[in-house]
Structure 1
C-alpha cells in the first residue's frame, strides 16, 4: 500500500485527489483490447463485468478473471454470452447448487468440485485459466 492509499484510508478522500479505474476486456489470442470501461475508485470489478461483456462484439469463447468476479451475476452474464467460465472460486467457497437439484450443474460448482479433486494449481492449468496472464501482458504494454 502506497503513501497516498494509506492517507486516503486514514483521512478519507480529499477534495482534489482521487483516481479512476480502467477495466479492460482483452482478446488473449491477439492481445487486442476489445472492451474498456472507466470508473471511479468506489466501483468494484464485478459491478462493471456486465458492461465489459456487453462491449464485446462477436462471440466470446472464454471468460477468465480473478476471484473478484466470483459472483452469481458474473457467471450468469457469461453463461448468457455462451462463454466458458474460468473464474476461480474463493478459498472458502461453498457449492451453490447441489447435485440433487434437477437443473444443470452450475459452472462455478463444477469448477469448485474439480479444484477439490485435483487442486487449484492443476485446475488452473486444465481450465486454461493460466492464459489470463496474457491479458495482464496487454495491461503492461499499455502502461509502458
Structure 2
C-alpha cells in the first residue's frame, strides 16, 4: 500500500492545544503516516516550543513564501512518502483518514484525492449559515 507523509502548518502559539490534538489524531491512524512534518510560519516562540515539547514530529520553519501556501510547499519538499497529506493545525483527523485517503492510489491513473470536512464548531452555527 502507498504511504503518506502528513504536513501540518501552524502560525500561532494561540492554538497550541488544537495543534497537539491534530498531531495526536494523526498518531492514532489505522494506517500510520510515514512521518509527521510540522511547518511553523513566522512564530519563533511556537517553533522553539514545538521543537522542545513535541516528540516524534519533524519540526521546521517555513522556508518559503510566508503563509499557508509557502508552509505547505516547505512541508511537501521535505516529505519522503509518495503521497503528501495536509491537515490543518486546528483539525482532527478521523482514525481512518489516511486509510481512506490512500485507497484511490491503488489505481495507477489517480494523481490526487481530497476528503470531506466537518467543522468543529465551538459556538452554535450562525442562523445565516446554510451548510
| Same fold? TM cut 0.5 | no
Using CA pairs below 8 Å that are at least 6 residues apart, which structure has the higher relative contact order?
2
Q: Whose helix proportion is higher, 1 or 2?
A: 1
Larger Rg: 1
TM-score (norm 1): 0.29
Normalising by structure 2, we get a TM-score of: 0.31
